[in-house]
Structure 1
Amino acid sequence: MTIPIFYAISDDFTKYAAVSLNSLVKHADPSKDYTVYFLSQDLADEHKQDLVDLGSDNVHVKFFKINDEIVAPIENRQENYLRADFFTMSIFYRLFIPDLFPQYDKAIYIDSDTIINDDIGKLYETELGNHLFGACTDSSIQFVPEMLAYIKDVLALEPKKYINSGMLVLNCKAFRDEKFIDHFMDLLETYHFDCIAPDQDYLNEIGDKRILHLDPKWDAMPNENTEPLASPSLIHYNLFFKPWHFTAIQYEKYFWASAKETKFYPELKAELENYTDEQREQDRGKLDHMLAKEDKVVNDPNSWAQVKKRGSVSL
């Protein structure tokens, strides 16, 4: 039995994905077998080789090209922008994993801006039962009033149960049996919900009351409001504050420890050193821009909350 793990990347994100993959391989149980798939539309052969070179005897690295036909209904429209700033198709790839890989009844998805500090096979052992997927509460937003208001007033969900989609244990069989993708596409095309985090909001809405909430150590996110976890199993450098752009952020030591073991270390150090204070201020501005969407969509007649109130959508 192999443990299937999926990343979704674009070509320019290869170096960060390489650091994540290196940490995954380092902590993989030698008695288990793993297959890591990179989903992309534009991965260069050179970068494919870089990632293959990080594999091991029991961690096999493979690639899957997402063709335009698969994602054609997801248009470059404002409501599909990531964090209210730009459009990237790769955030939606994770939703298609169960249908694209029917050989798996369960799979793990993780974002590329992650570090794994434990055997990810332990995560795969999660018993999902009738849950659609397992994930962790989004800890990065629990002290952000605008996000809490957005989740309550626009999504009509409970903020403490709102999960982050950067780590998912997918019940692939349930996704297929319940035609998740058909349902997602129907909602996407019918309502054009204006979202702060498009894929994540849809997962929270469709999965509401069917989400298994996992130990927060499996999606530890840097923030300025809480003490860091002593032994995080998976670290997710969520939002804009990446260790290759900012210093003195929580959990940065884990990223650099893994980065040092890859060919990309000099490039990543140079990226940090060349990143200007002006760029950092722009990143902080992007966060403010993202949060401003709450004011814009709270009275939208086609917000999740309003559509659910009318009873015109079945989740």
Structure 2
Amino acid sequence: MTIPVFYSISDDFTKYAAVSLQSLIKKTNPENDYTVYFLNQDLSDKHKKDLAALANDHSNVHVEFFHIDDELVKPIQNRKENYLRADFFTMSIFYRLFIPELFPQYDKAIYIDSDTVLNDDIAKLYDIELGDHLFGACTDASIQYVDKMLKYIRNVLALDPKKYINSGMLLMNSKAFRDKHFIDKFYDLLEKYHFDCIAPDQDYLNEIGDKSILHLDPRWDAMPNENTPEIENPGLIHYNLFFKPWHFTNVQYEDYFWKNAKETKFYEELKAELDNYSDEERQEDRQKLNHMLEKEDYTEKDPNNWAHVKEREIVSL
């Protein structure tokens, strides 16, 4: 059995992706075959070699690189409503949406963000039966105690915050994505409404997938959270938002990251990044979170936000 796993990556994220890949490889079952794809637009040859080298001693793990064509993502463009975290644009957040179309040989696939660490065999995630669901994912635990984000989900998206999923881990029913013309719906909504989003790709997945999402055990997307204790024996840790262990100390689940980082060539570079990250930069990161949440104030009043459009057209998007 081949388990296809996808990352989307920019060149400057290679060292974090290397830690994630190392953790994934360590937990693989020798009886399974794993093909790991890095979707990218700017990955250097040197970094490709660095990532591929991690699988050299594992005959059942294959690392591939797939260049995302500019034409494919041209309709998304660099425009304000697609800005991630309200302050900068990154095309790579959208790559995951195209996996089913770009890889028709797979009826099922896994996508994970690069700021993750595996603590269990990812084949166990892949083995979960999806049935007719579009994809499986975990409720976004990182926002359940953030009042403005809860308000945004209820009043701007008109969704249930308890069912709002995080897109950093997706168990994708690729066949259903193709059969239900997911990309066509995405492009249609994107061009027709220009929705202003706090989390662009994630909001579209929640909207289009609403009522067709299989909610998975939270151990498969365990996120640092100051309001809740660590999940015991997490399967996948996701260092979501700004509080990364390579920028902050005393981050929940940080030991998992550093244990795997030590086994990569990037360990000293990552430690130096933490040591050299200033208190001013940490304060800026905290402000970025507040800046991101400011979108709720004006998107709630937008006559063309998700909630108002759904109410006006009396149809589910």
TM-score (norm 1): 0.99
**Superposed displacement of residue 311, structure 1:** 1.3
Q: CA deviation at 1:312?
A: 6.3
Asked if residue 209 in structure 1 is aligned to residue 211 in structure 2, the reply is yes
State the partner residue of 2:263: 261
**2:240 maps to which residue?**
238
Deviation at 1:89, TM superposition (A): 0.2
Partner Cα distance (1:263, 1:61) in 2: 17
Q: Does 1:94 align with 2:100?
A: no
Q: Distance in 2 between matches of 1:290 and 1:312?
A: 29
Deviations 1:86-124 (A, max 9, x none): 000000000000000000000000000000000000000
How far the C-alpha of 1:314 sits from its partner, in A, is 4.6
Map residues 146-225 of structure 1 onto 2, 5 A cutoff. Answer: 146-225=148-227
Specify the alignment match of 1:44 in structure 2.
44
- 2:29 aligned counterpart, secondary structure: coil
- One-letter code of the match for 2:60? N
- In the alignment, residue 199 of structure 2 is paired with which amino acid? A
Cα separation, 2, equivalents of 1:312 and 1:180: 20
Distance 2:260 2:59 in 1: 19
Q: Which residue of 1 aligns with 2:276?
A: 274
Distance 1:174 1:286 in 2: 36
The runs of 5 or more residues in structure 1 that have no matched partner are none
**Structure 1 residue 30 displacement after superposition:** 1.0
The one-character-per-residue Cα deviations of 1:45-68 (angstroms, maximum 9, x if unpaired) are 000000000112111000000010
2:228 counterpart of 1:226: yes
The CA distance in 2 between the partners of 1:198 and 1:155, in whole Å, is 12
Report what 1:31 is aligned to: 31
What is the aligned-residue RMSD (CA, Å)? 0.7
Tell me which residue corresponds to 1:9.
9
Distance 2:243 2:68 in 1: 28
Q: Read off the aligned partner of 1:82 and give its amino acid letter.
A: L
Alpha-carbon deviations, 1:29-80, whole Å to 9, x = none? 1110000000000000000000000112111000000010110100111100
Q: What letter corresponds to residue 204 of structure 1 in structure 2?
A: N
> What is the CA distance between 1:296 and its match in structure 2?
1.2
How far, CA to CA, are the matches of 2:82 and 2:8 in structure 1? 17
2:80 equivalent in structure 1? 78
Q: Which residue of 2 aligns with 1:301?
A: 303
Q: What SS is found at the alignment partner of 1:148? A: helix
Structure 1 outlier segments of 4+, above 3 Å: none
3-state secondary structure, aligned to 1:202: helix
* Equivalent residue letter for 1:42: D
Tell me which residue corresponds to 2:290: 288
C-alpha deviations, 1:118-150, integer Å up to 9, x for none? Answer: 000000001111100000000000000000000
2:138 & 2:29 partners in 1: Cα distance? 23
Amino acid at match of 1:127: E
Q: Which residue identity does 1:203 align to in structure 2?
A: L
Post-superposition shift, 1:85? 1.2
Matched, 1:54 2:54: yes
SS of aligned partner of 1:204: helix
Q: Which runs of 5+ in 2 are unaligned?
A: none
In 1: Cα distance, 2:257 partner to 2:67 partner: 27
Which residue of structure 2 lines up, in the alignment, with residue 116 of structure 1?
A: 118
Q: Deviations over 1:166-196 (max 9, x none)?
A: 0000000000011100110010011000000
Aligned partners of 1:76 and 1:225: how far apart in 2?
Answer: 35
Amino acid paired to 2:45? D
SS of equivalent residue, structure 1 residue 273: helix
Paired amino acid for 1:97: I
Report the Cα distance in structure 2 between the residues aligned to 1:288 and 1:98, rounded to whole angstroms.
34
Q: Secondary structure at the match of 2:289?
A: helix
1:6 match: secondary structure? strand
Return the offset for 1:260. Answer: 0.1
Q: Supply the AA of the counterpart residue of 1:43.
A: L
1:313, CA displacement in angstroms?
5.7
